Structure 1
Amino acid sequence: MRNVIDQVPKSLAIMGGTFDPIHYGHLVTAEAVRYEFNIDQVLFMPTGHPPHKSQENITHSEHRYLMTVLATATNSHFNVSRLEIDRKGITYTIDTIKDLIRIYGENVELYFITGADALSHIFTWKDAEELLKMCTFVAVTRPEYHKEELIEKVEIIRNYYQSKIHFLEVPALSISSTNIRERVKKGMPIKYLLPESVENYIYKFKLYL
């Protein structure tokens, strides 16, 4: 297991998600954001008990964590955190951001990667106004996504709260964890949708059957 604080980065991007399973869409997105904003390290944060998802349909956190470790192992700029999966109770983004500031120090520049559609509903998140002031948001979208109305909505949020929000199109976001799970259940191939190490892990532990 890699230690997330072996070397304190000057800039850190948080890539949160259930990662059920993690796939190339997640990895390409993380690398695109890292390159675009010249970020030192991307920290993948598998969710523990997210408030907006039913726990009944989410694979056990240890499987999701280990698949994420396998998927990111070959990229020296990627790391994985257990912060949320080890936290008891519902996990909220603002608690995670506060923990990371405590761990890395107040001088670290934090970026939070999220889907643009999720960002448009940020006021359903806990302490959203405070959160918008604590880090830079990178809202990622698919190229074919009809985002004009979404961009307008996010622009209002950005201007009103003087928050840092950037948009980034990522073609690989067309891959989805939902589709991968459905393909496994139907006995269809998932090769080239996710790293081979994650594919082997899914079959070894008979996930999504």
Structure 2
Amino acid sequence: MSLGLYGGSFDPPHRGHVELARRAKDELGIERLLILVAADPGHKRVETPAGTRLRLAEAAFPDDEVILDEHARTVETLRAHPEWTDPIFLIGADEFSDFLTWQEPEEVLRLTRIAVATRPGFPRERLDAVLEQLAQPERVQFFEIDPIPVSSRVLRARLAMGDDVSAELPPAVAALAVSAGLYAPEHGYTGAV
């Protein structure tokens, strides 16, 4: 059974995240997808509590297993789970462009295959520049997704202003965000769902 891993802060998970996961399953034949919600992402500051982001991810990915990843780095997560046999780690093209800055990128590539979601218009030379520096470029594959112009950062700002973001969020995520007043201090947001 092919295992896919899709990690992130998911603050909040949006339609772009869901589309990437759906397309990866279809294109790569992933039979089991684990959604790894980063409890404390090492690369960025996240104010929304991990438990809240976990609930949002469960709402966004109801057909997949969603777990809280307590490790700050991908390589730590992969080392902690030797039972994951040759998983496929899903990332976007922007993240792959920065792959060489990750902690132990060659070890990450030894422990998992990487599937990079590309979109029309993304500069292929940025991806090729990374591939050229890898010892095992054959462990990287690409699949194309339709661009969905949405950003979690922008969605948080719009939610804080009380904007309707239901077109950008899966319905269950939108319902949770609105009912809990997520990202909107004037609604008494406490960080818990």
| TM-score with structure 1 setting the length | 0.81
CA distance in 2, matches of 1:172, 1:62: 29
Structure-1 separation of matches of 2:116 and 2:77: 18
Aligned identity (percent) is 27
Q: Deviations over 1:25-76 (max 9, x none)?
A: 1111001111111111111111111221124xx3111110001111111x3x
| Counterpart in the other structure of 1:22 | 13
Amino acid at match of 1:33: A
The code of the aligned residue for 2:21 comes to A
Which of 40, 54, 60 is the matching residue for 2:31? 40
Q: RMSD in angstroms over aligned alpha carbons?
A: 1.8
Are the counterparts in 2 of residues 29 and 172 from structure 1 also a CA contact under 8 Å? no
Q: 1:120 aligns with which of 94, 97, 114?
A: 97
- The equivalent of 2:55 in structure 1 is 66
Could you list the runs of 5+ residues in structure 2 that have no partner in the other structure? 185-193
**What is residue 208 of structure 1 aligned with on the other side?**
183
Report if aligned partners of 1:16, 1:44 keep a CA contact under 8 Å in 2.
yes
Is 1:168 paired with 2:143? Answer: yes
For 1:69 and 1:173, the matched residues in 2 are separated by 21
> How many Å apart are 1:95 and its aligned residue?
1.4
Q: Does 160-169 or 112-121 show the bigger shift?
A: 160-169
Q: Which residue of 2 aligns with 1:129?
A: 106
3-state DSSP of counterpart to 2:181? coil
Change (3 A) 1:33 1:154: same
> Which amino acid in 2 is paired with 1:59?
T
AA in 1 matched with 2:130: V
Give the aligned partner of residue 98 of structure 1. Answer: 79
Q: Is the aligned partner of 1:177 residue 2:152?
A: yes
Query: How far off its partner does 1:101 sit?
Result: 2.3
The 2-side partners of 1:206 and 1:162 are apart by 44
Partner of 1:52: 43
Quote the Cα distance in structure 2 between the aligned partners of 1:141 and 1:134. 22
The separation in 2 between residues aligned to 1:183 and 1:142, in whole angstroms, is: 24
Query: Could you tell me how far apart the structure 2 residues matched to 1:174 and 1:142 are?
Result: 11
1:7 corresponds to which residue?
A: none
Q: Which runs of 5+ in 1 are unaligned?
A: 1-9
Distance in 2 of aligned mates of 1:153 and 1:80 = 33
Q: CA deviation at 1:148?
A: 2.5
Question: What TM-score, normalized to structure 2?
Answer: 0.87
Name the structure 1 match of 2:169.
Answer: 194
Select the structure that is richer in helix.
1
